[in-house]
Amino acid sequence: MIPVTTVTTRSGKTVDIISQADLRDPLDTGIYVRAYCHFHGSDHQRSLSINKASGWGHCFNAACQRLVLVSEWNPTVAAHLLHRPEPLSNQTTSLRPDRPKVRSTPPPSPLAQQPVLLHEPKKTPKWQQEELRTLIHLEKRLQNSLERTPLVHSYLRGRGIPLEIAQLTGVGYLPPELPATLEENKRHWTLRRWAGRISFPLITPGEQGFIGRTLRHWRPGMDENAHKKLLDRPGRPRRWTKTNPAGWFCCTFEQFGSSIILVEGTFDRLALLTAGFEPYEVVALAGTSVQADWFPPQVKTIVLALDGDEGGQEASSRMAEQLALEGLTVLPCPPPQDGQGKDWNERWRKLGLDGLSPLWETYSISSPP
């Protein structure tokens, strides 16, 4: 049992002050260090997430939600909380609890003198870092070119998506010919594989990314399946490409509602929003695996609405198990096997609202009015 010092701040928050030596199998993911939570003891996910710069962290597990401070990473605040003299630093802090009630079990462990060996962060190749930086830098311009490009408007129309819905969710477009100003820039080569793609912004709890769908070889009137056939020929661009890290196509995690509909594709999400679901109700995985610990504590129920093909069904039963293990209620809702489309975008295009009726029904059970 690891000794823990629990203090209550003046605002009534309970903070567990821990040492970096307490972190179980920590993984450095950039801004955050993720570790298995030694409070609730889950071994399935690294649900304890700590900001390296501030030392503050919390457990994403809905039943746990511990607030922690790693003392070595923020000795100033840790000293205040413990009502000890400040270490050698004249940093000030706004967190000055008035006589915190300290409950020690047993007396606080001596701070680790040795740095903890963190796993090496997964090294993202330089070109991928540059690619992501460039896309973030150009995001506004991609969004503007979506608005100006009639070809994209007719593509979206073909999928039953109004331009306004795409704009609402930050969708953009990079024309096949890069603008002259970009060509001059040495950055342009990193964007070559994004030319002619619709871009979707993605997020993880700490980072952002993009996924892009090519419109090359698409002509107005062509449907999704015909386009896919053309792209499957040798030498053609891949249908999708994404950055590293990638992430989910969704609103910010804090905005999530208590019930979430989980779909596979970005266009499935756009179809559901067009039909009247709210942006905070629908998450598209966009090729990134489900991470139960990404869901903030307010999320209680997941409507699992992956594709109806074999791959989707397999993924669905795996995810249902994983999400249930983390205490979430899972309601499976695959598209019906009625030949009217294997995903929600296709059903929306063919049948309109009727095509989505199983989702409406399941969602109404998951979040009673």
- HSE-CB of 301 using CA atoms within 13 angstroms: 14
> With CB under 5 A, what is the number of residues at the site for Zn ion?
6
> Among residues 58 and 269, whose Cβ is nearest to Zn ion?
58
> Among residues 59 and 306, whose Cβ is nearest to Zn ion?
59
- Of 21-29, 32-40, 234-242, 312-320, which segment contacts Zn ion by CB under 5 A? 32-40
Which residues, numbered 340-369, are part of the site for Zn ion (CB under 5 A)? none
Torsion angle, CA of 14/20/24/28, rounded to 10 degrees? 110
Q: Is 204 in the site for Zn ion (CB under 5 A)?
A: no
> From the CB of 61, what's the least distance to Zn ion, in Å?
4
Assigned token pair, 316 = 């669905």
Residue carrying the six token digits 């203090």: 7
Look at residue 201 and give its three-state secondary structure.
strand
> Among residues 40 and 300, whose Cβ is nearest to Zn ion?
40
> From the CB of 86, what's the least distance to Zn ion, in Å?
29
CA 44, CA 292: separation in Å to the nearest integer? 9
> Among residues 5 and 134, whose Cβ is nearest to Zn ion?
5
> Among residues 23 and 263, whose Cβ is nearest to Zn ion?
23
> From the CB of 23, what's the least distance to Zn ion, in Å?
12
Residue carrying the six token digits 């062509």: 222
> From the CB of 50, what's the least distance to Zn ion, in Å?
12
Cα–Cα distances (Å) from 16 to 11, 37, 58, 111, 149, in that order, read 15, 12, 10, 14, 53
> Among residues 59 and 271, whose Cβ is nearest to Zn ion?
59
> Among residues 59 and 82, whose Cβ is nearest to Zn ion?
59
Question: What is the CA angle 83-84-88, rounded to 5?
Answer: 135
- Of 51-59, 175-183, 265-273, 348-356, which segment contacts Zn ion by CB under 5 A? 51-59
> Among residues 168 and 325, whose Cβ is nearest to Zn ion?
325
> From the CB of 24, what's the least distance to Zn ion, in Å?
11
When binding is defined by CB under 5 A, the residue of 32, 39, 249, 348 that contacts Zn ion is 39
Q: Where are the alpha helices (DSSP H) in the chain?
A: 75-81, 126-148, 150-158, 163-168, 180-184, 224-231, 266-275, 310-325, 344-351, 357-366
- Asked if 142 and 179 touch (Cβ cutoff 8 Å), the reply is no
- Of 39-47, 98-106, 214-222, 314-322, which segment contacts Zn ion by CB under 5 A? 39-47
CA 163, CA 213: separation in Å to the nearest integer? 16
- Asked if 127 and 37 touch (Cβ cutoff 8 Å), the reply is no
> Among residues 59 and 356, whose Cβ is nearest to Zn ion?
59
CA 250, CA 204: separation in Å to the nearest integer? 10
Smallest CA-to-CA distance from 260 within 305, 199, 213 is with: 305
- Of 34-42, 80-88, 199-207, 319-327, which segment contacts Zn ion by CB under 5 A? 34-42
Which residues, numbered 52-91, are part of the site for Zn ion (CB under 5 A)? 59, 61, 64
> From the CB of 38, what's the least distance to Zn ion, in Å?
8
When binding is defined by CB under 5 A, the residue of 33, 37, 50, 171 that contacts Zn ion is 37
**Which spans of this chain sit near Zn ion (rule: CB under 5 A)?**
37, 39-40, 59, 61, 64
